[in-house]
Every structure is written in structure tokens, then in C-alpha cells.
Chains A and B, each alone.
Chain A
Amino acid sequence: DTAVSQTPKYLVTQMGNDKSIKCEQNLGHDTMYWYKQDSKKFLKIMFSYNNKELIINETVPNRFSPKSPDKAHLNLHINSLELGDSAVYFCASSQTGGRKKLFFGSGTQLSVL
């Protein structure tokens, strides 16, 4: 079983559309994240949720809205997509306690045309 799974793997859409990326983890972790990797491979955290509560919210346009229905899921909804949103989005999870590693999903390649 995949530990952290994201869907879809690829997402191609037009500017102005609204889209969602789903993430689920079956590791029993209580913290989940969204990271964005740009075309230069730079990885930057966007959001982090702990037990369904938002704990990290980096400087991200409010067109991006994470939703955590339970601690095993953290979905990312993006409104009014722009060309600059094209990137690979990674979901990750970890167990709170500090000395734990992050488990990453395999990424969602978003292309905005």
C-alpha cells in the first residue's frame, strides 16, 4: 500500500479554472503538508496541518485553500488558476514529536495553459 498518495498525478488545465488535488496518508500520522516544487526544482512549504488544524501558512495567494476533513487527508483547492501556478505539488506527512521524518507523495504535476 502506498503510504502517501496524491491524485491526480498529472493535471492540465486552462487559466482561470478551479482545480483540486487530493492527498491521503495511511501511516497514522497527525501532521500533513503541501510543498510546491517550481521548474528549477526549488521546494517550498505552503501549508501544514496538525490534527486538522492549520499550523503553517506560508505566503501563499489566498486562491490556494487547503482542506483537511480528517487527519489522514489534506486536499488542496486552487481557484482561478494562473500560469505561474504550474509546478509539481507534493503532499507529505509526519508524526508530531520533532524527530520524525517526512514521508512524501509522488507529486502532482500541474500545468496551466
Chain B
Amino acid sequence: AQSVTQPDIHITVSEGASLELRCNYSYGATPYLFWYVQSPGQGLQLLLKYFSGDTLVQGIKGFEAEFKRSQSSFNLRKPSVHWSDAAEYFCAVATNFGNEKLTFGTGTRLTIIP
């Protein structure tokens, strides 16, 4: 069965600093990978997704992620964080492409300090 690991439960960065959130997946075939963001009291919003092609994908809000098959990773990056980026970030993998079933990681909580 597929699984997603987000090794960092909580990360704190200074506003303006760069950010990298880690995500590792376990799946035998080509994965379909997603990053979602959840602001406090809100539902999840898709930041970006990878299906095929260019392994560096661009998303909304200045985020990007790079798929590395050799490392089974799909890390999320942002060159300069803003206070509004404080949220919970979830990596997810889709394996049954027909019905959009997602398996989520346990999330990484991002805190921004001034």
C-alpha cells in the first residue's frame, strides 16, 4: 500500500527566509503527488501537483516542488516566506488515478516569526 511520510511535524522560520518542507512517499509505480495547505479553521487548498513531465513544478503563492524518483521525495520549497504562509502543509499521493483517492501525510505545521 502507498504511504506518505512528512518527517517534520513542526518547522519555524523567519519571515523572508527560505523554506523547504520534506515529503517522502512509498509506492511501487509512478506516483501522482500533491501538496495541500490548510490555514487555521479552513479546508485544504491545492498548492501544486505532479503527474508527469518536468520534475520541478510551480504552484500558487510562490511555492514550487521537485519530484526526485531516486529519493522517493517531493519536497516543497519557497525562496522567501511571508507571515501569511503560516499554516499546516500536507503532502499526498494518488495511486488509483480514476477516482482521485488521496493518501495524505501527517502534515507539517509551519510557524513564521518576525
| Chain A residues in the interface with B (C-beta under 8 A) | 4, 31, 33, 40-45, 48, 50, 55-56, 90, 92, 94, 96, 98-102, 104-107
Contacts and interface: CB of A to CB of B under 8 A. Distances in A.
Given A41-B106, A43-B90, A50 B99 contact: yes
B51 interface: yes
Interface in B27-47: 34, 36, 41-46
9 contacts: A41-B88, A41-B107, A43-B104, A45-B101, A48-B99, A101-B34, A101-B49, A104-B44, A106-B43
B114 interface: no
A102 B100 contact: yes
A4 B43 contact: yes
Contacts of B46: 101-102
B57 interface: no
B74 to A, nearest CB: 16
Interface residues of B, number: 23
A44 B104 contact: yes
A33 B42 CA distance: 17
Interface of B: 34, 36, 41-46, 49, 51, 88, 90, 97-104, 106-107, 109
**CB-based closest 5 A-B pairs:** A104-B43, A43-B104, A104-B44, A101-B46, A98-B97
Contacts of B109: 41
Nearest to B52: A99
A36 B65 CA distance: 26
A90 B102 contact: no
A56 B99 contact: yes
Contacts of B99: 31, 48, 50, 55-56, 96
